[in-house]
Structure 1
Amino acid sequence: MVQHGSDIPIKWNAPASPKDYDKREVMIPMRDGIKLHTVILIHHGAHDQPILLERTPYNASGLVADKPHMRDAVFEADREWVDDGYIIVMQDIRGKYGSEGDYVMSRPSIGPLNPTKTDDTTDAYDTVDWLVKNVAESNHKVGMIGSSYDGWTVTMALLGPHPALKVAAPESPMIDGWLGDDWFHYGAFRQFQLDYITKQTSVKGEGDDVPRDGVDDYQIFLDAGSAGAYAEAHGLKQLAWWNRMSAHPAYDAFWQLQALDKKVAQQPSNVPTMWLQGLWDQEDMYGAVHSWAALKAAGHADNNHLVMGPWYHSQINGVARNLGPLEWNGDTATTFRRDVMIPFFNVYLKDKPTAHPLPPVLIYNPSENHWDAFSDWPGTQTPACARFRDLSQIVGSVLQVAFYLTPIMWLPRSLPANVSVYLLDFNPAYHLLEIVRAPLLGQWPSAMNWGVSAALAVVGWALALFIYGRYKRRIAYWL
């Protein structure tokens, strides 16, 4: 048989593989008429199931793969939710990817910095309202989740939540972009964010990094002279967000009015919320902790929980068996999602009690590879077993210090008496070391001498620790 023309057909219609879920792409209308692109995944045969909503600027369609099984079609962090029967919903925020409207980086709440009648609080409300009215397979209950920018959208939803929003989990949310999240870390601008600004705001989809020669960014930024000079030389003055941000290098009203930790305390919701933070988060170390602390200070700790795991930024959404050379007790992210987060959500979305209610504060102890539960944080209480479990290490450390400092204690004896007496009597370390050193040298002081030495050591160390506790910041600064 002779083939005439190309072996490639004009159009190839691949046979559709059977799927165990429905994928629906809809445009959900907002109150101002703008429609937001939304992807909905529902297991075949699902009914009376809760909705897990994530609002993102990172391409909702791109988070879903064309796979026959729903579990394989979703992002890794959503697989346990799929296993538990959840309806998965992802939405492009206003102005990004498939959604209509204008995109504004972390659009401020309606007010002085946003004169329109919509923000991500109203958009989340309208989205939840549409979902519970139009997704027949749902039980009309919604939970929200998201990390980083997506965690910011969760926090914005909490400022004016729809009644159907029953539970939320902002993960490493961007809360205050100057004090400690993303753009500045306590005023120190992070130059590598210039790539992110360009990728995120130069086009509606995903843009490119800043074009530049060379591979050593440190040298490139050094040669530029300043972040401003670098940005101007690489065309960032065309980007509105760079212009707004660079016009406010100080912590002025521009940043303060956008700080969501203050807003959530001023406008507390009744939505049970799990604030998640990675102990090694290199991007957004500030937001979750300070939002929880602000709510606690305002008297709203009852329905707010703080979780800090052994993760870098957004590692909660992947696999977390280790952090570089530090090995944890198994996959701390997957087990946390499965054994802690989903049961917490199920309490409010499925009316399903859990055998292990989430404590007010849950923090992973990296040194001992386990989770510690607290009734408050920071506080005077510690886990019961923690009060004495470090005793052997403390004693060992004191003995090590004593061993290395003992020769120093002999030095005053070679000084004039009127000098050495002050160095010895007012040195708490000397009296403490004498108790250990004297028997080693065959000197057995009387019980009275031991008592005096011990008393002076205790009083001396108590005063030293009191002074350190009061002036530790100044001491740390000078050291």
Structure 2
Amino acid sequence: MTRLHALLLLLTSLAGGFARAADDDAPAAKYEPREHYTKYEYRVAARDGKKLFTVVYMPKDAGQGGKTYPMLMTRTPYSCGPYGVDNFAVRRLAPSEAFLKAGYIFVCQDVRGRFMSEGTWRTMTPHLDVKRTPQDVDESSDTHDTVQWLLDHVAGNNGKVGLWGISYPGFYAIASVIDSHPAIKAASPQAPIADYYQRDDGYHGGALMLAHNYGFYTGYRPQQTPTVEPRKWHSFDYRDRDAYNYFLKLGNLDAIAASLAGPDGSQPAHNPYFDELVQHDSFDDYWRSRRLPEHLKNIRAAVLTVGGWYDAEDLAGPLSIYRAVEQQNPGVPNRLVMGPWVHGGWMRGIGQQLGAIGFDGKHSEWFQKQLLLPFFEQHLRGAADAKIAEATVFETGTNVWRRYDAWPPRQAKVQSFYLQAGGKLGSSAPTAADAADRYVSDTNRPVPFIAYTALGMPKDYMVGDQRFAATRPDVLVYETEPLEDDLTVAGPVGVELFVASTGTDADFVVKLIDVWPQDAGPEPAQPPRDKAVDVEPPTPAFGGYQQLVRGDPLRARFRHGFDKPEALVPGQVEKLQFELPDLNHSFRRGHRLMIQVQSSWFPLIDRNPQRFVRIRSAKPEDFQVATQTVYRSGAQASRVQLMVVDPARAELPPAK
């Protein structure tokens, strides 16, 4: 080889290397689903003859050379639109782009009575354990019929079906696997509603979740089906910027229900869904028929239930679903994931921050890649064991993921913290006779649930700074000394209050709070703007920050059962026993535990008149001032019970 030939060869090699380097540095081409999928629309007949509108996005090479794909289905009351085979929206059906690239047959169905599906929609369709005629239908039967139709008519499927959905679609996912079609191999109910009355969207402790439900039902109304999505979604005009004043001026729940017509009467006079919610204000047969957990039997599919510790709508649902599946279906793969997320935040955000509180990582992406996709790949495509722990839970406070073989962890031990004199909170019960604290609750001047002006239910209230409430005379405050070591709480929070009231009804709200040291730093980042907020939430200093960790009410008329409303006898001491929803939080060394007790939390929950009347139709004179007494000694020692765990002993070793 001449020296000239060698030089030319070297230059050619270098040029190729530079070209490859340039290609490596160039941004990856944008993935375009339309190039890989074809859209089809069908009307699937259920056993009672009603047609259920079903959209299918099929990989273009399905069936070619024997190539098959699993089906991943979502059933929703929120529309499978845009409608028309030329209008593409497959990204709405795939949990992430990784699912699109992996290749699935994506299926979406409008549930009966919504948008393009025939029939009548019902709040949390009651499950029928026994179906005697073709007219006996529920979500399990509708899904069974749909799956069989898809297997028979959609070519290129591998005979395996997965279900998933968030919120109401999460409810449909888990309701569909009861006595499920044998082709359904995996289901991931995410933020599912389990019991609308018991601590999910509707009621907490017998109190109506007012701000959330009102906001939801301004837009969610009965439809004449079939109907496509409107060309423009209209926002409800509150003609106000402050929900506190807005609801206070309206008065009782009857007036609030009537206001859903809008200030200009542009909507129907009433929303029957909201009316049903308000009318059934105790745990009656209406709600009993819609309680899902006891029906979760004969499940054959693997289940991965997902929730968020800061889900203000459906925090209780995922935990209830997980427990019911675990207890009633021995041997079925059943997994729980709880992360630092708001409602659906694992898909609709990065999971890095809520309000002023940061979580040190992009936890949504981690969940999607390391848990969700491997779960479906294993059960629908036969991929390797995803090695997902029984419970994969994020520990707030320390901002780390924990893996346990049960939830709550088996090693968790109950530790009591008693309300003590001088606003103290400690592990020993006071012994002084007749020790008690009192406050005056004015139901016409209720305690707000946030410190700033907003409409709706801002998501960050669940980590909000409670100093604004601690300074009110109608809020009792108890706190520990600074902790000498970290205290990790994993599980529900038990509450025992001994109370008396001068009224014949009352609410008692208990809040568990993490108090940051006065010298805490650095300053928190400015929280992102919430569209529901009129003004920017204030950015507090972390020194002395009173971070809400958990809170819930109990309406005292339900102290003997949510199906047995009973008046209080003025002055008579009553024991109130209830739970705050689960948490997994580490109170760090140097922090304090705080308990706040109050009798209103407005307008997060509706106002209790403090008189035993039908609340929805209470008259102005029914809303009364009452003195509330909380006892804290001897046999009447009020306390909270925390499930304390040592993560180093309870946690599983990392998955291999």
| Fold shared, TM-score > 0.5 on shorter chain | yes
Aligned counterparts of 2:208 and 2:235: Cα–Cα separation in 1: 18
Asked if the contact 2:260–2:271 (Cα under 8 Å) also holds between the matched residues in 1, the reply is: no
Aligned counterparts of 1:276 and 1:137: Cα–Cα separation in 2: 30
Residue deviations 1:129-161, cap 9 Å, x none?
111111111101100000100001012102221
Aligned counterparts of 1:137 and 1:183: Cα–Cα separation in 2: 42
Unmatched tracts of structure 1, length 5 or more: 1-16, 383-395, 401-467
Asked if the contact 1:51–1:141 (Cα under 8 Å) also holds between the matched residues in 2, the reply is: yes
Q: 1:347 aligns with which of 371, 378, 384?
A: 378
Aligned to 1:398: 484
Aligned counterparts of 2:369 and 2:38: Cα–Cα separation in 1: 24
Query: Which shifted more, 22-31 or 225-234?
Result: 225-234
Aligned counterparts of 1:313 and 1:294: Cα–Cα separation in 2: 21
Match of 1:398, SS? coil
Aligned to 1:254: 286
Aligned counterparts of 1:221 and 1:131: Cα–Cα separation in 2: 48
- 2:402 paired with 1:316: no
Asked if the contact 2:44–2:54 (Cα under 8 Å) also holds between the matched residues in 1, the reply is: yes
Residue 238 and residue 223 in structure 1: after superposition, are their counterparts in 2 closer, same or farther (change >3 A)?
closer
- 2:73 paired with 1:53: yes
Match of 1:178, SS? coil
Q: 2:219 aligns with which of 199, 210, 227?
A: 199
- 2:142 paired with 1:123: yes
Aligned to 1:25: 41
Matches within 5 A, 1:83-162: 83-110=101-128, 116-162=135-181
Query: Which shifted more, 22-31 or 179-188?
Result: 179-188
Match of 2:70, SS? strand
Match of 1:136, SS? coil
The percentage of counterpart residues that share the same residue type is 26
Asked if the contact 2:188–2:303 (Cα under 8 Å) also holds between the matched residues in 1, the reply is: yes
Asked if the contact 2:39–2:85 (Cα under 8 Å) also holds between the matched residues in 1, the reply is: no
Q: 2:52 aligns with which of 17, 23, 36?
A: 36
The structure with more helix, counted as a fraction of residues: 1
Residue 105 and residue 63 in structure 1: after superposition, are their counterparts in 2 closer, same or farther (change >3 A)?
farther
Aligned to 2:188: 169
Q: What's the RMSD between the two structures over aligned residues?
A: 3.3
Residue 82 and residue 162 in structure 1: after superposition, are their counterparts in 2 closer, same or farther (change >3 A)?
same
The structure with more strand, counted as a fraction of residues: 2
Residue 91 and residue 78 in structure 1: after superposition, are their counterparts in 2 closer, same or farther (change >3 A)?
farther
Deviation of 1:211 (Å): 4.5
Deviation of 1:302 (Å): 4.5
Aligned counterparts of 1:110 and 1:310: Cα–Cα separation in 2: 35
Residue 399 and residue 371 in structure 1: after superposition, are their counterparts in 2 closer, same or farther (change >3 A)?
closer
Q: 2:276 aligns with which of 240, 244, 249?
A: 244
Deviation of 1:280 (Å): 0.7
Aligned counterparts of 1:228 and 1:200: Cα–Cα separation in 2: 18
Aligned counterparts of 2:259 and 2:100: Cα–Cα separation in 1: 47
Aligned to 2:333: 303
Aligned counterparts of 1:342 and 1:352: Cα–Cα separation in 2: 11
Residue 61 and residue 294 in structure 1: after superposition, are their counterparts in 2 closer, same or farther (change >3 A)?
same
TM-score (norm 1): 0.71
Residue deviations 1:27-66, cap 9 Å, x none?
1111111111111112211331101000001111149997
Aligned counterparts of 1:209 and 1:195: Cα–Cα separation in 2: 10
Residue deviations 1:187-241, cap 9 Å, x none?
2212231232242224355675555422222211111112222112444764332
Q: 1:225 aligns with which of 206, 227, 251?
A: 251
Asked if the contact 2:258–2:270 (Cα under 8 Å) also holds between the matched residues in 1, the reply is: no
Aligned counterparts of 2:76 and 2:214: Cα–Cα separation in 1: 20
Residue 65 and residue 359 in structure 1: after superposition, are their counterparts in 2 closer, same or farther (change >3 A)?
farther
* Matched letter for residue 343 of structure 1: P
* Matched letter for residue 285 of structure 1: L
Aligned counterparts of 2:155 and 2:402: Cα–Cα separation in 1: 41
Aligned counterparts of 2:484 and 2:343: Cα–Cα separation in 1: 37
Q: 1:185 aligns with which of 186, 204, 209?
A: 204
Aligned counterparts of 2:48 and 2:70: Cα–Cα separation in 1: 27
Aligned counterparts of 2:187 and 2:351: Cα–Cα separation in 1: 25
Residue deviations 1:354-374, cap 9 Å, x none?
3x4111111112333332111
Match of 1:144, SS? strand
Residue 473 and residue 300 in structure 1: after superposition, are their counterparts in 2 closer, same or farther (change >3 A)?
farther
Aligned counterparts of 2:637 and 2:320: Cα–Cα separation in 1: 20
Match of 1:199, SS? coil
Aligned to 2:620: none
- 2:407 paired with 1:370: no
Aligned counterparts of 1:44 and 1:286: Cα–Cα separation in 2: 41
With a CA cutoff of 8 Å and minimum separation of 6, indicate the structure with the bigger relative contact order: 2
Aligned to 2:240: 214
Residue 135 and residue 78 in structure 1: after superposition, are their counterparts in 2 closer, same or farther (change >3 A)?
farther
Aligned to 1:426: none
* Matched letter for residue 171 of structure 1: Q
Q: 2:363 aligns with which of 306, 327, 332?
A: 332
Residue deviations 1:439-478, cap 9 Å, x none?
xxxxxxxxxxxxxxxxxxxxxxxxxxxxx9x99992249x
* Matched letter for residue 398 of structure 1: E
Query: Which shifted more, 307-316 or 198-207?
Result: 198-207
Aligned counterparts of 1:230 and 1:292: Cα–Cα separation in 2: 35
* Matched letter for residue 57 of structure 2: L
Aligned counterparts of 1:104 and 1:148: Cα–Cα separation in 2: 16
Residue deviations 1:410-445, cap 9 Å, x none?
xxxxxxxxxxxxxxxxxxxxxxxxxxxxxxxxxxxx
Residue 332 and residue 32 in structure 1: after superposition, are their counterparts in 2 closer, same or farther (change >3 A)?
same
Greater Rg over alpha carbons, structure: 1
Query: Which shifted more, 251-260 or 53-62?
Result: 251-260
* Matched letter for residue 160 of structure 2: K
- 2:303 paired with 1:270: no
Runs of 4+ in 1 over 6 A off after TM superposition: 63-68, 470-473
Residue 89 and residue 64 in structure 1: after superposition, are their counterparts in 2 closer, same or farther (change >3 A)?
farther
* Matched letter for residue 124 of structure 2: S
Asked if the contact 2:307–2:315 (Cα under 8 Å) also holds between the matched residues in 1, the reply is: yes
Aligned counterparts of 1:117 and 1:380: Cα–Cα separation in 2: 41
Asked if the contact 1:144–1:168 (Cα under 8 Å) also holds between the matched residues in 2, the reply is: yes
Aligned counterparts of 1:399 and 1:346: Cα–Cα separation in 2: 42
